[in-house]
Structure formats: structure tokens, C-alpha cells
Amino acid sequence: MSQRLFAAITLVFALLAWPLALAAEDILIADFEAKDYGDWKVTGEAFGPGPARGTLPGQMHVSGFEGKGLVNTFHKGDGTTGTLTSPPFAIERPFINFLIGGGGHAGTHVDLLVAGKAVRTARGPNTRSGGSEELDWMSWDVKELAGKQAVIQIVDKGTGGWGHINVDQIAQSDKKRMAVRGPASREVLMTKRYLHLPVKNGAKRVRMKVTVGEKIVDDFDIELADAEPSFWVFLDMEPYKGKTATLEVGRIREGSKGLAAITQDDDVPDAAGLYKEKHRPQFHFSSRRGWNNDPNGMVFYKGEWHLYYQHNPYGWKWGNMHWGHAVSKDLVHWTELPIAIYPFRHGDWVFSGSAAVDWNNTGGWQTGDEKVIVAAYTSTGRGEAIAYSNDRGHTFTDYEGNPVVKHGGRDPKIIWYAPGKHWVMAVFDERQKSKGVAFYTSPDLKKWTYESRIDGYFECPEIFELPVDGDKKNTKWVVYGADGAYATGSFDGKAFTPDGPKIRFNLGNCFYASQTFTDVPPEDGRRIQIAWGRVGHPTMPFNQMMDFPVELTLRTTDEGIRMFAEPVREIALLHRKKHAWQKVALEDGGDNPLKDAQGNLFHIVAEIAPGDAAQVGFNLRGTAVVYDAKKQELECRGRRAPLKLADGNIRLEILVDRTSVEIFGNQGRAYMPIGVIPPDGSRGIAAFARGGTATAARLVVHELKSAWQK
């Protein structure tokens, strides 16, 4: 008997014995732990010089692979293409299992080739924005192919969004590895206000739909915890008490306890510990649970400051965009209200936008005594949409004629242009190579006419008018985008004409997508801005915050007209204990005058003459704020802002919270919001001089109380 015939007979008997065999050792085809692909054949650029070590530059976080390496074709982004083909192997087990993630388009797939033909194919799970880079198990049943020679080919021919694929841990096995099953559902009679949902950071996202009768309450993606959750989120079911809610998931892991673990309560999860979490900002707004980013729809009406915001109520990461909602009577103490605007349908998210009061009922939507608050937002599957509220901004009705504007862009800002008696919409426009802001006008918020466009702005546009040096007869219009870089100029209700190039505004690391409040009454008259403060902590049940509100003004400087930012005066509502000094000498190596001020929340105001000192500044719970007298430059955590001496002095105003240090130089000429997580146990602050002696003509430290204290 030849050796080849003996091997064939042995293989046949082995295959016949599969149903009776005990679990045999898997046959590893590839685990991609080496520095290169070895005997695998590579074409194109997409696969890079070898297996990736996790996430590649510009990519969302990749998870779910085993070991340190994997195939990741995001090399140089989604635009690269190529193939990766294994050496031939004999099919010796009933299943081929592997981990797969990335794109699910026709151009991104894994094939099992026998005699050059694809006999099995698998694709990644993602075809649109908002997906996850997590890998999950896929299994091919190959019993009918036993004994045949095969190759595995990983293909990336996609060049658009999700034009890449992730693969790891390919093995032949006696067992099928399937990570999910589904769908599954559960019915809950609502006797209490909130559904509590368990979340596990990094778990596979599943789609969950909650319905009551024919009404879809919400339809969202969630990292549903199979066992012990990272934290709990909630869904407000107050309107549905006494009714039966159906909870459906599209798929769920074998043995998962996630659906069964969902419970109900009359309060949000861990209500007793809310706002007391270790890294919870104490006077910056942050959502009770989940993710927040851009502030939206900022409007003042009848004594209330309304802050809407981009919000994922069901997870720590970005996604599931709703409009969250909070109100304040003083810009410091915020009350979070139920979700204001839900997605139109699953995946058709509520992106950024704005709000204003329709004082003249131009839209015709007013039904009672309350004036209508109108919201303009991007509905991602439709375009620019309008919603309106007759109950002081608590709930909104989607305008039946949406979308009102459909173009290549997003993030509409609406204002009433009184001289022309019409509405203006400034909206991000990316139809051309040079991104910018498009301006539309409307008499009634329903029919919009394109008017003009300016280049050089990206996302979340803002437009408003401000007096120069407080002179209401001398005003300028201000336009800026998400980074806050602004231009002053003139605006005739249809077109903006800038005075010159854009000017940098914020010089910190914790600022994006700011917006200002509309409809502030004349007796107040301030232009107040809030930005997204981009800082978070993965151990918390919430993520990100808002920067502290600032008042914007235009002032004449030796460089021309510039925008200044100062913290709103309402910060004084949180003053608890005051320390004050006058004409204090700060000497290199000398005593620290602030040694008795202890805590983690501070409001500091200082006027300092550097004298012959090379540097002066503060150490604030481990974060140094340094002024270089020779360079006339302010520095904090690698960020720098020019700041000229004024009559030999600098004036610094600093707000210190648990996750941020916000610095205002020379009455807001320099604005540096800095996101930082201080070292555990760090509660002290210090003032210092280096290389000489400086004098603090005035030094005031207010220890602050939490805005969440009742």
C-alpha cells in the first residue's frame, strides 16, 4: 500500500468518525502574531507590511481580536485595496472558524476557495456610519468539502466608508463557534418610570427596539452586558406606565443574561451616587448616563436657559444620536430632563443643530399661549429638519414637510434677521472641495432659499452680531465653525463679508463645536457660549462634558478687533471660602501663599507683575499654568497662548474642576480650556515665581462648592 493511499484511507475513517470523536485539537491556519504574513501571498497596499497590532492611525478602536496581531486593511485608510491569500491546505475538520470585523460591502470579504472558486464567503458587519470595529466569530460548515485542498483569500476592494476588513484566528475545528443567536424578545408590564439596561463596555453591539403597541418608543444599538455590566443606563417610560412594553434584540449571545437582567425602577440607576462619582465634573454640565458631545439648540425662554446636546443615552461611546436636554435658571445649576428629540428611525440620527423662539408664529405652529420653540437639526437619513415645541421646549413635533433643506452638509444654525424680517440658516456645506458655510433664508421656517456661501469653515457653524467695545451703534457680525476660529465682518441677511482672515479663538485642548444662546432678553444682553469639553474617563458611566459658560465680547486691541471670553458672573454662586492677598511677593523657592487652600474646585483671580522673574504661575492639583515673561506666552500641558504684559502686569482668571482647568488671560484675551485628570489625592494649589521675584498685586482664591449640591 502506498503512503499516499494509506493517508487517504486514514482521512476517510477520521471523517466518518467525526460524530463520535471527542474534541480534537484545532488545526491553526493563521493567528497573525508574526511580524509578517509568512507564506501568505500579498497584493496591493491595504494589508500593510505585516499584521497590524490593533488599531491603525485614524481608525476607531479595534477590539475582539486575540493576541497582539490581526489582519487590518485600514492601512493608510479606507482607500487602499489588495488581497491576502493563504498557502493551500487540506480540509480536515468539519468547521472553519475565524474572527471577522470591518466592512460588509461587496468589496470587503473572506473567501474559501476550492479549485479556484469561492465556496464560502463572509463579510464584516458594517455598511454605514456608527458601526463598531469589534471582531466576532464566524463559522463555516465544511463537512461536504472534507479532504479537498483549499485556500483562504481575504479581499479588500472597497475604497469608501467601511472599505476595510479585519480578520484573526483562523482555525479548523470539530466545533462550530458562533457568538450570537437571535432574535429574542421579552415583554414587560410597566409599573415604574424607568427601564434599567445593563451595558458592558467593549461588548458586541446589538440592536434593541422597545415598543408599546404599535408605538416605537426607541430603536437603538447597545453594548448589552451578557453578565456583569460596566454600568447601567436607562430609558424613560413615564408615558407608558400601566402598558406592556416589548423589548426586542436582533441577536444575542448564547447564555447571555442581558435581556433577562433588564429591570424597572422609579429612579435612574444609582440615584444616590449620582453626581458624586470620582471623575464627575462638579460645575460643568455632564449627562447622567452615556455619551455627550456638541451643545445644540441653546435658547433662552421665560427664565430658563435650554441646553440640548448630542447624546448617546445607551453607552459610553459616540453613537445613537438623540438630543439630550437640560435647563438652568442661572447657567450653573442644571436639571437634566427627558430626551427632547428621538431619531426619526433606527440609524437616522439626530445630529447637531440649533433652536430659536418663533415670537411672530411665522411657522403657524402655535396652539396655545406659549410661544413656539423651533429646533433645526440634521436628520442623517433625510437632511436639515425642523421640529417645534408648544410646551416650553420639553417635547417636539417633527414637521411633516421635512427635510426643509437637502444638501451636502449638516448642523443648521437658525437666527431671526430682524431688518429683513426673515429667518437665516447657516449650515455646514461640503459640496465643494473647499468646505464652508452656506446661507439660506426663509419667511416661515418651511420654504428655504439658498443665498450665498463662504469657504474655510468645518462643521457646526455659528453666526451672531456683537457691539464693539460695548457700543451698540458700532457692531460686527461674527462667524465661526467647530474649532472656534472666527472672522468678524458684515452681514446683510443673505451674505457674510469678512473683514479679514480667520482668527484663532480657543488655545486649549478641551473645546469643540461651541454654540451661543439665542433670544437672550435685552435687559441681560449677553452673548453666552458653551462648547463641548472633550474629556472623559473610561471607568465612569458617563463620558465627556460641557465647558463652563463664557460671555463673549468684541474689543479693540493693538491687533484690531478681537473676541474675548470670560466666565459668566454666575460662577460666584458657587463661592464657598475666600482667601485673599494683596502685594504678595513670589520668590523663587519661597513660601507658597496658597498652602492653606485645599480642595478640588477653585476659582482663582490674580494680577501679577513678573518683575525680574523669568516665569510666574500656578500649580493646580498637579497641573502647571506657566507665564513666560520673556516670550510673553502662557503655557499649560503643551498648549501655548500669546499674552502681552499690560502696564507690566498680567491678569489671570482660572477655574479648576475635577477634570478641567480653564484659563482666561487679561480679561479673556487668551482663552485656554484644558482637559486633565489630576492625580489621585492631589488637593493642593501653589503660586510660584522662577528665576527671580514677582509681585502679586491681587491674589484671590475661592474654594467652590459643587453645583450638584442641594
Catalytic residues: 294
Asked if 372 contacts 388 with a C-beta cutoff of 8 angstroms, the reply is yes
- Burial class (CB within 10 angstroms; exposed 0-12, middle 13-18, buried 19+) of 40: buried
Question: In 330-408, which ranges are E strands?
Answer: 334-341, 350-358, 372-379, 383-389, 397-398
Strand duo 133-134 + 62-63: pairing: parallel
Q: What does the alpha-carbon distance between residue 213 and residue 218 come to, in Å, rounded to a whole number?
A: 13
Whether the upstream peptide bond of residue 610 has omega within 30° of 0, thus cis, is no
The neighbouring-strand residues paired with 221 are 207
Q: What are phi and psi of 3, to 5 degrees?
A: -65, -35
Within 10 Å of residue 25's Cβ, how many Cβ atoms? 10
Q: What are phi and psi of 470, to 5 degrees?
A: 75, 5
DSSP output for 70-118: BEE--TTSTT--EEEEPPPEE--SSEEEEEEEEB-STTEEEEEEETTEE
Q: Which amino acid is at 320?
A: N
All 3 cell numbers of residue 408? Answer: 451636502
DSSP output for 475-520: EEEEEE-TT--EEEEEE-SS-EEESSS-B--B-SSS-EEEEE-B--
Asked if 23 contacts 174 with a C-beta cutoff of 8 angstroms, the reply is yes
Return all residues near 689 (Cβ < 8 A) that are at least 6 apart. 586, 587, 588, 590, 610, 611, 613, 615, 616
Q: What does the alpha-carbon distance between residue 664 and residue 625 come to, in Å, rounded to a whole number?
A: 11
Whether the upstream peptide bond of residue 57 has omega within 30° of 0, thus cis, is no
Cα end-to-end distance, the chain, whole Å: 90
Return all residues near 593 (Cβ < 8 A) that are at least 6 apart. 581, 584, 586, 687, 696, 699
What is the biggest distance separating any 2 CA atoms in the chain, rounded to whole angstroms?
A: 106
Within 10 Å of residue 705's Cβ, how many Cβ atoms? 16
Task: Please choose, from the candidates 697, 613, 687, the residue with its C-alpha nearest in 3D space to the C-alpha of residue 649.
Answer: 697
Q: Which amino acid is at 658?
A: R
Within 10 Å of residue 334's Cβ, how many Cβ atoms? 21
Torsion angle of C-alpha atoms 51, 53, 58, 62, degrees rounded to 10: 100
Q: What does the alpha-carbon distance between residue 405 and residue 442 come to, in Å, rounded to a whole number?
A: 11
Q: What does the alpha-carbon distance between residue 53 and residue 578 come to, in Å, rounded to a whole number?
A: 52
Residue that the C-alpha cell 485628570 belongs to? 677
DSSP output for 197-227: EEE-TTSPPEEEEEEETTEEEEEEEE-B-SS
Q: What does the alpha-carbon distance between residue 544 and residue 284 come to, in Å, rounded to a whole number?
A: 10
Q: What does the alpha-carbon distance between residue 424 and residue 414 come to, in Å, rounded to a whole number?
A: 6
Look at the chain and count its residues: 710
All 3 cell numbers of residue 65? Answer: 481580536
Strand duo 512-516 + 542-543: pairing: unpaired
H/E stretch holding 550 reads strand 550-557
